[in-house]
Amino acid sequence: MKQFIVKEIPKSNLEISNFEMREVEVPKPDPDEILIKNILLSIDAANRTWMQGKTYRDQVFAGDVMPSYSIAEVVESRHPDFKKGQIVTSDSYWEEFSLVKAKDVNKCPQDIPLTYLLSIFGIAGLTAYHGLFDVGKLKANDTVVVSAAAGSVGIYAGQLAKALGCSVIGIAGNDEKCKEVVDSLGFDGCINYKNGNLLKDLKEMCPKGISLYFVNVGGHILEAVLVRMQNRGRIVCCGAISQYESSSPVGPRNVPGFIITKRLKMEGFIVMDYQEKHLEAINHMKSLLDEGKIKVVEDIAEGLERAPEALVNLLNGKNFGKSMVRVFPDP
């Protein structure tokens, strides 16, 4: 079978050449293990952070098979709860087949498109939902700003806030993405931060200030948004992609100053923190999807060989929607 190892841990920007594909034998499961066939691999900015140190999972080193999260089919099971042919979610790797522990595997519902289990009903949608409702305590009259608005999580954070009746302004890295989130996804406005007028644009689009900021980027964008935050505003820290490729991250320089003077609440989270609420979140998002209030947006690369390219593209802001790699067709 084919798999990708991390050939070298980059000191600056990740490159496709930092990965190497190799051929190995398909492993055999021991008791309580399951052999799965990876159908879809999730591509996430967090993949890059795993190379920089221990986070909520072990650090990835040179020579390791690149870890991931997948939608997969059970090929062989040595555990009574799982049978050949079942569709499951699991921690896995950038490879065609993965050997996983039964405790790390969950069965998938049968009536949902498999890509949705990584996008709207998976890591991306659930992160947006829990960040807004459980961490940010979203309210119908909020003015919400979402950075990386066209990214895997941002597209759902913005749509969910709009569905609740909020005013939503996105921040993205080019005019095309800004136009798309406004015209196709219903954002009230979107700012191209690369135009160099971020503070001015935020003032124009959020004249009464910002009550909730959904952070996917960090850095100088967070610094600018802090200036426009309302007193007692809430800041939901989901990601800091501006720092993932930098050996010397920049900004924000106004922390903790504005947090103190504006009495802001800033809180970070990881989607697994709210695992017991996943079903509630999925049911709510399913009803919004059925009502046409939110859309599914996915960026799918075809073939395992495109996994390094997909991750590099995501880190450089070239994806639109939830990024994933299709390894095999749906069964």
Cα-Cα-Cα-Cα dihedral of 252, 254, 255, 261, to 10°?
-150
CATH number of the domain encompassing residue 243: 3.40.50.720
Q: Which range marks the domain in which residue 155 is found?
A: 123-272
314 contacts 294 by C-beta, under 8 angstroms: no
Q: Do residues 79 and 21 both lie within one domain? A: yes
Evaluate whether residue 197 is within a structural domain. Answer: yes
Q: Do residues 49 and 157 both lie within one domain? A: no
Query: How far out from the chain centre does Cα 138 lie?
Result: 19
> In sequence order, which ranges of the chain are alpha helices (DSSP H)?
46-49, 123-129, 154-163, 175-183, 198-205, 219-228, 241-244, 257-261, 278-290, 307-315
Q: Do residues 222 and 179 both lie within one domain? A: yes
Q: Report the phi/psi class of residue 184: left, alpha or beta, with left for phi > 0 and alpha for psi in -120 to 50.
A: alpha
pLDDT score at 245: 65
Q: Do residues 39 and 175 both lie within one domain? A: no
Evaluate whether residue 240 is within a structural domain. Answer: yes
- 286 contact partners, CB below 8 Å, separation of at least 6: 121
Q: Do residues 149 and 8 both lie within one domain? A: no
pLDDT score at 52: 87
Q: Do residues 114 and 148 both lie within one domain? A: no
Q: Do residues 165 and 151 both lie within one domain? A: yes
Please count the structural domains in the chain. Answer: 2
pLDDT score at 254: 87
Q: Do residues 161 and 110 both lie within one domain? A: no
Evaluate whether residue 218 is within a structural domain. Answer: yes
- Asked if the peptide bond before residue 27 counts as cis, ω within 30 degrees of 0, the response is no
251 contacts 220 by C-beta, under 8 angstroms: yes
Evaluate whether residue 287 is within a structural domain. Answer: no
Write the DSSP assignment of 98-112 as a string of letters: EEEEGGGEEEPPSSS
pLDDT score at 249: 67
Which domain-ending residue is among 256, 272, 288? 272
pLDDT score at 246: 64
Rounded mean pLDDT for each run of 10 residues along the chain, 331 residues in total: 97 94 97 97 94 87 97 97 96 97 92 95 96 98 97 97 98 96 97 94 97 94 96 95 69 89 96 94 96 97 98 94 97 93
Q: Do residues 56 and 167 both lie within one domain? A: no
Q: Do residues 163 and 79 both lie within one domain? A: no
Q: Do residues 313 and 221 both lie within one domain? A: no
CB-CB neighbours of 84 under 10 Å: 11
CA 24 to CA 26: how far, in whole Å?
7
Predicted TM-score (pTM) of the model is 0.92
> Buried (b) or exposed (e) across 176-207, using 16+ Cβ within 10 A?
ebbebbbeebebbbbbbbeeeebeebbeebbe
CATH number of the domain encompassing residue 79: 3.90.180.10
Q: pLDDT by residue (tens digit) across 208-231?
A: 999 999 999 988 999 999 999 999
Q: Do residues 17 and 87 both lie within one domain? A: yes
Evaluate whether residue 36 is within a structural domain. Answer: yes
Evaluate whether residue 101 is within a structural domain. Answer: yes
What's the farthest any 2 CA atoms get from each other in the chain? 61
List the structure tokens of 80.
């009574």
CA 59 to CA 7: how far, in whole Å?
15
Evaluate whether residue 285 is within a structural domain. Answer: no
Evaluate whether residue 281 is within a structural domain. Answer: no
Q: pLDDT by residue (tens digit) across 165-190?
A: 999 999 999 999 999 999 999 999 99
